[in-house]
Amino acid sequence: MRKICVTGGANVDICGASFEELRAYDSNPGMIEIRFGGVGRNIAEICALIGQKVRFVTAFSSDFYGKEMKKDCEALGMDCSYAKISDAYPSSIYLAILDEKRDMRIAMSDMRILDELTPEDALNGVKDLNDNDILVLDANLSESLLHELALKAGGLKAADPVSISKAKRFVPILGSLQIFKPNQFESASLTGITIVDEHDAVQSLDWFLERGVREVIISMADRGILLGTQEGKHWIRHRIIDLENATGGGDTFMGAYVCERLNGADPRASAVYALSAAVTAIEQNSVRKRQLNDAEIREGIASLNIEEKILL
């Protein structure tokens, strides 16, 4: 059976939102939420919710949170049999403090546990992949590990840059990636092109295509997405949605896109499917409720009010 393998991070996300204006050097009343996250884990979760066979290769700490995260991933249907368990570091934790307007004021992450995932560990977890499978790479992995996987692992490679600072880890291996999904800011940090109009869009897509990426998707927030392949370039827009809580929309898009590509859909159809998944996740909070499914995604496509421009 064709399969998807995701290699990346799994975090405990702790988010505190203040009820009032934040005061430094003081205890601020607010609301605190703890949930499991991490780009790699989130993408694997989407694949599992949609019903796709997915393997998750990561490093879990042997502490309480690590055990609970692994248990939760397996309960969702992920195959974690190749995940590494280590007591060298605590579980990966992302801590964010939001102000009364829910704008992030400061954050901190401790992802040292991922350093325990060696190239040998990761390659062992993907050793059976072939060209009919897809390997998703999360830029939270070290640059050396990403390079090993891109050059030596089987399967079609899909990559998420995660952030502006980590996106550069993929520059030397762009030619080994079949699918690359930066947002507009990550794209600009690599290409030097700020996307304002269609001319900028074409130049940005060409920059990645000329470096060997087969399918590049640039997410443009409320301006939709750009899709570029050797067969053509598209600017796909959708109806206005509430972006006040768009957390996880990009991870949902990537998970849904690779699932639909694995099912044999072409890049354009896969992008529209992924847009529907992301919109559904954002507007219905369906990922957190763990109610996202293939039928709901397909039903949502009609309500996207897709407007598409072929870029020349």
Mean pLDDT (the chain, rounded)? 94
* C-alpha span between 58 and 79 (Å, rounded): 11
pLDDT at 129 over 70: yes
- Least Cα distance to 226 among 297, 311, 304 occurs for 311
Question: What is the second-level CATH architecture of the domain 4-9+40-62+77-83+112-311?
Answer: 3-Layer(aba) Sandwich (3.40)
Please give the helix or strand (H or E) that residue 263 lies within, else none. Answer: none
Tokens 């070290």 sit at which residue?
142
Tell me the residue type at 201: A
> How much is the pLDDT for 204?
98
Tell which wins on pLDDT, 85 or 250: 85
Q: How do beta strands 54-57 and 59-61 pair?
A: unpaired
Count Cα atoms within 13 angstroms, Cβ side, for 86: 20
Average pLDDT over residues 54-79: 97
Determine contact, residues 83/54, Cβ cutoff 8 Å: no
Q: How do beta strands 93-98 and 11-18 pair?
A: parallel
* C-alpha span between 110 and 92 (Å, rounded): 5
pLDDT at 282 over 90: no
Residue extents of the structural domains in the chain? 4-9+40-62+77-83+112-311
Cα 6–Cα 188–Cα 272 angle in degrees, nearest 5: 55
The reported pTM is 0.93
* C-alpha span between 297 and 277 (Å, rounded): 5
Average pLDDT over residues 203-227: 96
Tokens 């006040």 sit at which residue?
244
> How much is the pLDDT for 244?
47
